[in-house]
Structure 1
Amino acid sequence: MQQIDWYVLGGTLLFIVLYGTWKTRGSKDVTDYFKGGNQANWWTIGLSVMATQASAITFLSTPGQAFHDGMGFVQFYFGVPIAMVIICLVFIPIYHRLKVFTAYEYLETRFDVKTRTLTAILFLIQRGLAAGITIFAPAIILSAVLGWNLTYLNIGIGLLVIIYTVSGGTHAVSVTQKQQMAVIFFGMFIAFLLILNYLPLDVSMTDAFEIAGATGKMDILDFSFDFENRYTIWSGLIGGTFLALSYFGTDQSQVQRYLSGRSLKQSQMGLIMNGFLKVPMQFFILLVGVMVFVFYQFNTSPLHFNPAGVEDVMNSQYASQYETLQQEKRALETELSAKQISYARASSTTEREQLAEEISVLNTSEEQLREDSKKLIKKANPEAETNDKDYVFIHFILNNLPTGLIGLLLAVILSAAMSSTASELNALGSTTSIDLYKRNVAGKSEKHYVHASKWFTLLWGLIAIGVASIANLFDNLIQLVNIIGSIFYGNVLGIFLLAFFIKYVKSNATFVAAFITQAVIIYIWWIDLMPYLWLNLVGCALVMVLALLLQTVFFKSNENSEMS
């Protein structure tokens, strides 16, 4: 990185933190702190909802996911528009009518305090873990690529977010997220244009798409019912809908975004905006990853993108074998580049089909070389993480973008980390304060609860930094966050659906069913019985069925006797 990149990076982040702190200073009461005084308009809500979900993991992992596996991951988001409509029609009107500060307040009205507390605790566990990962994701990757100290990065990102989130609460989160989303959209659009500009002169954008398509990277829809395949149209529409319902409808980090709306209509329009834009946004981010793949069809790419893994193997007895693999890859790249240029210039369908087959064989050979390199890295260091998907885009940024834009794209990544983490800390602080503290320590002044909320937000910020400091890289970071959510979200969604629609089921049956369901879902995930997206549907269905059975068999007589 050059000095100008540091100026761009530091200036962008410093402006966001200082602006958010200055603009939202001096919250007078709990409504100001947790709902931003109910002043947010629909586009602020829409951008805030999008920014909360679009963490740094989105901009690091998603392009790498597309680089390796193509566009199929976009199916994960197909359930979002469906979920937005349901939430606008069912969830938001109830929350606004009851004037709740958190989603879990409603559960005490419908059930009792223990059900409200259990659901709030489930949220605190999964979101507390996720907050740590949203800090850890950019930190570990920037640490490995740039050589920055991982611990200092975790602490630095966490502290930047804590400063303005503790100071201004929900309003600070919403205000800063507008600037962060502007930086993110601009940076990703510039990256996309630069990739196209870096392709050979006779390779047009249409040619680039065809090159990607010839290798299967543009395959979007998978209609198979294969449970071994995580991402199909069915898992997206069914499992994705239930995950989105749970996340946007019951997760306080999202609910708090639209509870700050100045009216019911503004909140609903903000979510509809998210429903319209979420799939195109994710499609575009994946497309950037596919274009990085096309770029590397004409340019040299590393055998392995994680520099820590390469360092392990090059300092071991397997260094010569790894170097041999690198030489084989360089020879493949020369041939592959020539074939791709011929493919772009070919005029007949027959010639293109023949070249596409040859290119497919070369790419398969290259993938095998990458797999062989991972095996060598594992031999050199059995503890090494050989997955390198999360390093693909950052490698491209640092090695191919011009001075100044490197700093901008790093600002994109860190802005995304800050925006998502800020929402999570804000929600963790509000849930702890409203659902646990204020519920049990009543009768204090508004000022007291605002101060308590700030201390709880600070505490969760420190916990998130702690989680980030002990976290380990997983198969793919964007999947890890969604896996954590899927383990808890289905159960929580089922509790809310029972509350909304099945008045026959009472508190005791729901409480016991929730405990049993959570244990079962954790076990199913542990034995890897099904793709994680389906855990949302199974968890939701299981808690509802169990609650109905328990109400009918065990708790009906008790409640009848209480009524008499």
Structure 2
Amino acid sequence: MSLTDWIVLGVTLLTIVIYGVWKSGANTNIDQFLMGNRSLRWYHVGLSVMATQASAITFLSAPGQAYSDGMRFVQFYLGLPLAMIVLCVTFVPIFHKLKVYTAYEFLENRFDLKTRALTSFLFLIQRGLSTGITIYAPSIILSTILNINTVYTTLFIGCLVIFYTVYGGTKAVSYTQLLQMSIIFLGMFFAGAMVVHLLPDNVGFVKAIKLGGKLGRMNVIDWKFDPSNRYNVWSGLIGGFFLQLSYFGTDQSQVGRYLTGSSVGQSRMGLIMNGLLKIPMQFLILLIGVLVFAFYQFNRPPMFFNQYEVKQVKASSYAGQYNKLEDQYTAVFAARKNKADALVRALDGNDKIQINQAQQDLKVADKQAADIRKEAIGIMKKNNAKANEDDTNYVFLNFVTHYLPRGLIGLLVAIIFLASMGSTASALNSLASTSVVDIYKRIINPGATDKNYLYASRLATIFWGLVCIGMALYASKVGNLLEYVNQLGSYVYGTILGVFVVAFYLKRIRGNAVFIAAVITELTICLLGVFGLVAYLWLNAIGCIMVIVIAVGINPLFPEKRLN
């Protein structure tokens, strides 16, 4: 990056941190630190909810996901608007009426302490691991730019977020997210415009989309019902609905965001705003990935986008073999570019026979390039068995750092940092609130002073920050970050959602029944996920339904206690 980019990056990050700390003011009690005095407006709530979900993973990995796999991931969000409606009708008014700090407080009132503790524990494990992934995402950027190991950049990012979250609490998180999302929307718009601007003069936006479609990247909708297929309409509507309902209704990182609303109406409007904007936002981010894919049909992409791994193999005894493959790849790219030009001309002529022939020729050339790339990855694995062979997280980053003008590079890099900081800060705040309110305050040290709980909240934030940094150091081994973080959530969200559904709608089910049902379900879901018996989105629906069915089935074994 140029000096201009570094200045833009530094000023943007510093402004965000100072603004958040300044707006948050002093925190003198736990309600201020964890809930921000429940005083925020609907648009503030909505942007905070979006920023919590839209981490750096969204802006770093989603374009790479579309580059390699097309647009079908957008179906993941089809159940979101339905989930927002259910939340507004059921969850929001109940949580506001009870004035809870966490979603899990309600479960003790409805069932018992062990059910509350179990769901809190499941949340803490899942969110702690997932937050580590969101810390790792921007560390990839720094390591690429500075050419240093991700260990050092991960430590820097993690410590920066821990600082302002510990100092400012949830109000600092919410105010920084408000400014973050404004900058993010602006920056991603400019990024998309720049991709189109850099395309050849005879291509443009429409032809780039057509080109991507001819190579299978505009696979937005898949109506075929297939439980083993990760992304289709049915997995998105059904599995996605259960995942989104559980995430926004039972995950404290999101519940804590809309509980800061000044009223039930403000919280509801914030969630509706999220439901209306999230799918178009995700569609446009994925579309940028398709445009980048079209761009690289005419501009030679790296044979492997993760340059850290490339440098490792080029410094080894396998350098000669790898360099030979790069020469072959360059030659194949030249042929592929000619085929892409031929397809564009055929599209201009609107001749279906020529279009079909040019499409087939381009697919053959594309497969040749993919085969060479596969050989290169094999050489990398020979050199280092632990080498990360999934480089989708680096696709958009490579484009940004090599082709965007000065200043805009710094802004786009800052956006990815901001997204990571926003979602990570929300997660740390929610981990601290759950640890203190559901575990420390309820089980370990009930009856302590408010000052003691405020101190414990800050210590819990630091503790979970360190845990998340530890997970981030492991994250290089997990592949595409966007998919992996959703897979992690699918292991527990269905179970937790099932507990809440029973709590809200099945009034006769008692605590022992739902506790045992949750334990059995979670063990089953883990087995299904580990052995890959179904696509991960379906784990959410299966988990929720299992808890309900088992709880109803065994509830008669636990008769209601009668008072003498």
Q: TM-score range by the shorter chain?
A: over 0.9
1:400 alignment counterpart: 403
Inter-partner Cα distance in structure 1 for 2:336 and 2:52: 40
- Give the equivalent residue in structure 2 for 1:448: 452
| Cα distance, 1:145 vs structure 2 | 5.3
In structure 2, distance between residues paired with 1:323 and 1:159:
39
Name the count of aligned residue pairs: 560
Q: Secondary structure at the match of 1:298?
A: coil
Counterparts of 1:87 and 1:331, CA distance in 2: 55
CA distance in 2, matches of 1:112, 1:88: 25
The answer on 1:3 being equivalent to 2:3 is: yes
> 2:524 maps to what in 1?
520
Secondary structure, in 3 states, of the residue corresponding to 1:156?
helix
2:430 to 419, 427, 432: 427
**1:36 matches 2:39:** no
The more displaced of 331-340 and 195-204 is 331-340
Question: In the alignment, what sits opposite 2:464?
Answer: 460
Q: One-letter code of the match for 1:211?
A: L
Match of 1:417 in 2: 420
Structure 1 partner of 2:245: 245
Corresponding residue number in structure 2 for 1:549: 553
The answer (yes or no) to whether the contact 1:21–1:163 under 8 Å persists in 2 is: no
Mapping of residues 269-308 of structure 1, within 5 Å: 269-308=269-308
- Cα deviation per residue 1:278-331 (whole Å; 9 max; x = unaligned)? 111110110111111011010011111112332233234443332332222222
2:440 corresponds to which residue? 437
Using the alignment, how far apart are the partners of 2:142 and 2:554 within structure 1?
A: 50
Instruction: Indicate if the aligned counterparts of 1:17 and 1:163 stay in contact, CA closer than 8 A.
Output: no
Deviations 1:341-372 (A, max 9, x none): 33333313232232222222222222222222
Mapping for residues 37-436 of structure 1, pairs under 5 Å: 37-144=37-144, 146-345=146-345, 346-350=348-352, 351-436=354-439
Single out whichever of 453-462 and 272-281 deviates more from structure 2.
Answer: 453-462
User: 1:524, 1:5 → 2: CA distance?
Assistant: 46
Quick one: distance in 2 between partners of 1:266 and 1:379? Answer: 56
**C-alpha separation between the residues in 2 aligned to 1:154 and 1:333?**
35
Deviates more, 1:62-71 or 1:327-336: 327-336
> Once the 2 structures are TM-superposed, how far is the Cα of residue 384 of structure 1 from its aligned partner?
1.1
How far apart, CA to CA, are the structure 1 residues paired with 2:554 and 2:145?
Answer: 54
Q: Deviations over 1:372-422 (max 9, x none)?
A: 222222222222111111111111111111121111111011111100000
Question: Retained in 2: the 8 A contact 1:82–1:241?
Answer: yes
Equivalent residue, structure 2, for 1:15: 15
* Higher mean C-alpha displacement, 174-183 vs 254-263: 174-183
Q: TM-score, normalised by structure 2?
A: 0.96
Q: Which amino acid counterpart does residue 349 of structure 2 have in structure 1?
A: S
Determine helix, strand or coil for the equivalent of 1:472: helix
Query: Could you report, residue by residue, the CA deviation over 1:417-448 in whole angstroms, capped at 9, with x for unpaired residues?
Result: 10000000000111111111222323333333
- The match for 1:490 among 486, 489, 494 is 494
Q: CA deviation at 1:31?
A: 2.2
Q: Per the alignment, in what secondary structure is the counterpart of residue 115 of structure 1? A: helix
CA contact (8 A) 2:227 2:235 kept: no
- Alpha-carbon deviation of 1:563? 4.5
> Comparing 417-426 with 519-528, which one deviates more in the overlay?
519-528
Q: Distance in 1 between matches of 2:216 and 2:176?
A: 39
**CA-CA distance at 1:475 after TM superposition:** 2.4
Change (3 A) 1:399 1:214: same
Asked whether the 8 Å contact 1:145–1:306 carries over to 2, the reply is no
Deviation at 1:27, TM superposition (A): 1.9
CA contact (8 A) 1:36 1:260 kept: yes
Amino acid at match of 1:432: S
Q: Which amino acid aligns with 1:516?
A: I
Q: Deviations over 1:90-131 (max 9, x none)?
A: 111111111111100100110011111111111111111111
User: Counterpart amino acid of 1:437?
Assistant: Y
AA in 2 matched with 1:451: Y
SS in 1 for 2:477: coil
TM (norm. structure 1) is 0.96
1: CA distance between counterparts of 2:359 and 2:422?
42
Asked if the contact 1:33/1:170 (under 8 Å) is kept, the reply is yes
Residue 276 of structure 1: CA displacement?
Answer: 0.4
522-531 vs 338-347, which moves further: 338-347
8 Å Cα contact 1:25/1:167 also seen in 2: no
> Residues 495-522 of structure 1: CA distance to partner in whole angstroms, max 9, x if unpaired?
0001001111100111111112111111
The worse-fitting range, judged by mean Cα deviation, of 443-452 and 151-160 is 443-452
1:454-508 CA deviation, whole Å, 9 max, x = no partner? 2211221122222223443312111111111100111000000010011111001
Q: What is the rounded CA distance, in whole Å, between the counterparts of 2:432 and 2:256 in structure 1?
A: 11
Measured in 1, the distance between the counterparts of 2:78 and 2:370 equals 29
SS at 1:504 equivalent: coil
* Alignment counterpart, residue 472 of structure 1, candidates 476, 484, 493: 476
* Mean Cα deviation higher: 41-50 or 524-533: 524-533
Q: Secondary structure at the match of 1:82?
A: helix
What code does the residue aligned with 2:377 have?
K
AA aligned to 2:387 is A
Structure 1 residue runs of 5 or longer lacking an equivalent are none
Query: Distance between the aligned counterparts of 1:132 and 1:318, measured in 2?
Result: 33
Cα distance 1:329–1:58, how it changes in 2: closer, same or farther (>3 A)? same
SS in structure 2 opposite 1:160? Answer: helix
Give SS of 1:84's match.
helix
Q: 3-state DSSP class of the match of 2:366?
A: helix
After the TM superposition, which of the residue ranges 218-227 and 112-121 deviates more from structure 2? Answer: 218-227
| Structure 1 vs Structure 2 CA RMSD | 1.6
SS at match of 1:219: coil
Instruction: Return the letter of the residue paired with 2:408.
Output: L
Aligned-partner Cα distance in 2 for 1:206–1:188: 19
Deviates more, 1:336-345 or 1:42-51: 336-345
Describe the shift of the 1:325–1:226 C-alpha distance in structure 2 as closer, same or farther (beyond 3 A).
farther
Which piece of structure 1 moves more, 431-440 or 73-82? 431-440
